[in-house]
Amino acid sequence: MKSFLSHFVDGISIFFFNLLQKPCSLPPDFPSQLSSYIDSWRKASFKEYYYPDSRYENKITTYIASAIYRQDQLTFPSFVRSPHSCSNYATFELFPSKKGWHQAPTMILLHGLLSFSLKGYIKWVRWLNNKGWNGVIMHLPYHFQRKPASFSLFSPSCVQPNIVHTMETLRQSVIDLYIFTKSLRLIGSPLIGAWGISYGGWTITQVACLEKTFHKLILVEPLLNIQHVIWGSPIGKEIRKKLKRLGISQSETEPHLRLACPSFSMPKVRGDNILLVGGQFDPISPPWILKKIQEKWEAKHLYILPVGHLNYTLTPESFKLASKCWKDDFSIDDH
């Protein structure tokens, strides 16, 4: 019964996502655009791809380090500029604990691609506050406050057949998060953790591979094998259809994987501080991918539960498992 319900819910959500991709057209010269983009970064290192300009970094981190004590919502201009002005300002919701940013640990939450509301995430931020943690919710590009006014729920623009745009959106979110975490370190945050689901897990992992920023990683059905997401999973059906129509094959995107796909990198986090949570019936981030990642990263904690990709059970389960895996870090109540 669980298998049937999981496939049914995933099927509806995946159909909806592919439906939203149908209006996304690619220009006839997109193959050359894609080739030029990949070639422009072919010799770049992982850090060169994601590090912002030093002047921008110094200016924004200084601003955040000061503003974080005065604001409930923090915004700053993204280093990577989107063609849609609505998404050009990084946005973070701030929920400090009683001890504050420089004394208590901080957990940053990154939502999934099809998230409609912050309501559920705020519930778990309050739970973290009660456990003595500061909580932060990041608005990913084209979601919540960063979505176009024409979309009432969310925008499909975050991931689309235009792979160049998809990669630049990823760079934007990675740099936004990197800058924010750099500011936390600047003010002396004692411990920084990150929780991410699906697309949010993809962003978090890329930041974790840049520097020793995070002390704890909680990755829930993270997108860690991008080739599978685009070329093998049902959610990539409309994307690959449009790419194949222009003669773009999987092999042509492979040179860029070392910069874009977490499965090619190693997070700078100890294996016993990484928690992977997946769904047994997940077709987008299936168990076999998570198990391979666990072996490569030497991650100590991997749990596969009987659900699909789109569900409401893995979020509470992931926090319960985190409390179990790292009991000392979640045992101090902030009352």
Which region holds residue 82: left if phi is over 0, alpha if psi is between -120 and 50, else beta?
beta
pLDDT given for residue 335 in this prediction? 45
pLDDT at residue 151 in the model: 61
Res 311: pLDDT: 80
Q: How many CA atoms lie within 13 A of 16 on its CB side?
A: 13
Query: Helices marked H in 41-88 — which ranges?
Result: 46-50, 54-67
Contacts 24+ apart (CB under 8 A), 115-124: 115/143, 115/144, 115/154, 116/153, 116/154, 118/93, 118/144, 120/312, 120/315, 122/93, 122/95, 124/315, 124/316, 124/319
How far, in Å, CA of 154 to CA of 117, rounded? 9
- CA-nearest of 108, 97, 116 to 13 is 116
Beta carbons within 8 Å of 96's beta carbon, 6+ residues apart: 104, 134
Residue 27: per-residue pLDDT:
94
Tokens of 224: 């860690």
* Token reading at 203: 């962003």
Fill in the DSSP letter of residue 1: -
Query: What SS3 state is found at 139?
Result: strand
d(CA 47, CA 139): 23
CA gap 101, 192 in Å, rounded: 10
Q: What would the pLDDT profile of 172-203 be if each residue is shown by its tens digit? A: 999 999 999 999 999 999 999 999 999 999 99
Of 198, 197, 194, the C-alpha closest to 210 is 194
39 Cβ neighbours under 8 A, 6+ residues apart: none
What does the pLDDT look like over 96-140, one tens digit per residue?
A: 999 999 999 999 999 988 777 888 899 999 999 999 999 999 999
Task: Give 7's Cβ-side CA count (13 Å radius).
Answer: 4
pLDDT in tens, the chain (335 residues): 556 556 566 677 788 778 878 888 899 999 999 999 999 999 999 999 999 999 999 999 999 999 999 999 999 999 999 888 888 999 999 999 999 999 999 999 999 887 778 888 999 999 999 999 999 999 999 888 887 776 655 556 788 999 999 999 999 999 999 999 999 999 999 999 999 999 999 999 999 999 999 999 999 999 999 999 999 999 999 999 999 999 999 999 999 999 999 999 999 999 999 999 999 999 999 999 999 999 999 999 999 999 988 888 999 999 999 999 999 888 765 54
